[in-house]
Amino acid sequence: MDMLATRTTWLAIALFFITIVSTKISRWKSNIHHLPTRPLPPVVNVLALLPSVFKKGFGVTINDLYTRYGSVFTINLLGPKITLLVGPDVSAHFFQGLESEISFGNFAEVTVPIFGQEVLYGVDVATRSEQVNFLLDILKPSKLRSLVDPIFQEVEAYFANWGHDGIVDLKHELEQVLMFISSRCLLGYEVRQMMLKEVYSLFHELENGLNFFSYLFPYIPTPTNRRRDKAHNRLKEIFTTTIRSRRSSSRAEEDALQRLMDSKYKDGRSITDGEISGMVMALIFAGKHPSSITSIWTGAFMLSNTKFLIAAMEEQKHILSKYKNQIGYDALLEMDTLNRCIKEAIRMHTPAQMLARKAHKKFKVQTKEGKEYDIPGGHTVVIPTAFNNKLAHVYTDPHVYDPDRFGPGREEDKVGGEYSFTTFGGGRHVCPGMALAYLQIKVIWSHLLRNFELKLISPFPNADLRKMGQEPKGKVMISYKRHQLLHC
Ligand code: HEM
């Protein structure tokens, strides 16, 4: 009897488990056949768009599509599909998705001949992520304190060459000073002292290698691509010589080159000279151009908006008084008004006008109106950053230069959520150089405001739409006269 009871109990337990498992399996099966599917975004054919793009321009065409279809729509390029995600509500997966779900795909291939096969998009994902971590470490805000003195020295030395008064092209001047700063902080003093002119023109050739044609055909031996390859090889030679000379003299410096030289992979392997060269090229490349464009726009906007120019100068006076004329890292961190003037300039003219990824797997987006769409794997996904920066439901009077929009009580870069302001990207690939970019632009503009009376004498510049990065078109002429905003 006892045995029967035990057998019955075991049978009941077994039946119970079989029922649970079979129910789970049948639910799983039915889920497979009835996965919740959502509609795909509205599709527009590229041929239908071309007249509008030619007549009204790309920005106006995107605006028309946004007004008609809302924040998610697909452009069919006669086969390949590009889905645009407009605004912060639909941006999360783009920035946060795993590399296996959404990645740069082959868009970054254009950078391989520029930086070399040994780094970033020339290597596998695991090595790349370690290399990006080396960059993140170098550019950490806590590591930037030691760069402030060298940046100040470069800025003071550069503007000491200006006379008592004069007229200059702000664009040329700021490009030059930023090249000196980048070289000093990132390339090392050897390059800064001895071969800056050559390195500067080699980087120019690398920059020319990034164009729409090379996106499509990065390896075709066009004259531009050949010059790019020659410039890459010469830069690698220069950096390798510098690295070897430092190693043989056991000299250590306080710059990015040194920090890269001291980096080690998780398995204990030291970084090679070729990898260091490639990553230094990537740093200069990623940082110099957007920083100089931003510093020029900051100047053009401040010099055309008396209210904000006066506010920025008053802030300098206050900080000089507080720090007894000694401007250092902590003083720079307190320059909130200047910070907002810079941030608003990058919002108005963002250097990275759109960000792109390849979706490898289907993902869902939900618009602020509550509409849900499935974005299929295989689509190219684009965030139109420049357009997002002018969205009327995120920014009040979006076409007006108004640094106060980022101030206390308004903070328009936050009200739309985490991805309202994506000028520096966001999530997994957020720009690691953001703090350095603000730091160097603040050093330049705080120096100029303290030491010169400045006026914009050419018309306010338009953005050069033929060039990537919305740089100001033509010369930006200013007049200067020395003054001293010293606190007594
Ligand atoms: C105003 C100045 C700058 C702007 C507007 C800017 C913008 C951006 C943006 C939008 C991205 C993300 C691209 C994407 O997600 O597709 C990015 C990435 C990056 N930026 Fe910047 N950047 C600036 C300055 C700098 C500086 C000064 C450095 C370094 C010296 C730097 C280094 C990098 C690097 C290494 C990445 C790649 C990160 C990754 O792929 O994980 N940037 N930047």
pLDDT per position as a tens digit, 327-365: 999 999 999 999 999 999 999 999 999 999 999 999 999
Q: What is the pLDDT of residue 486?
A: 63
- Which ligand 1 atom is the nearest neighbour of the CA of 293? 1
278 lines ligand 1 (CB under 6 A): no
Residue 296 CA, chain-centre distance (Å), reads 17
Model confidence, pTM: 0.89
Cα-to-centroid distance, 352 and ligand 1 (Å): 9
Cα-to-centroid distance, 191 and ligand 1 (Å): 23
Q: What is the pLDDT of residue 200?
A: 84
Give domain limits for the chain.
37-86, 87-358+387-482
Compute the distance between CA of residue 109 and CA of residue 120 in angstroms, rounded to an integer.
10
114 lines ligand 1 (CB under 6 A): no
247: tokens are: 């190693």
Nearest CA among 406, 147, 156, 381 for reference residue 287: 147
Q: What is the pLDDT of residues 211-254, one digit of tens each?
A: 778 878 888 999 999 999 999 999 999 999 999 999 898 777 77
- The total of other beta-carbon atoms located within 10 Å of residue 428's CB is 15
The answer to whether the CB of 218 falls within 8 A of the CB of 189 is no
342: tokens are: 């810079």
User: Residues for the chain: how many in total?
Assistant: 488
Residues in contact with 371: Cβ distance below 8 Å, sequence separation at least 6, in sequence order = 70, 72
Domain 87-358+387-482 has CATH 1.20.1580.10: no
Residues of the chain with pLDDT under 70: 1-36, 468, 486-488
Backbone angles phi, psi at 372, to 5 degrees: -115, 140
Backbone angles phi, psi at 376, to 5 degrees: -70, 150
90 lines ligand 1 (CB under 6 A): no
Compute the distance between CA of residue 452 and CA of residue 261 in angstroms, rounded to an integer.
40
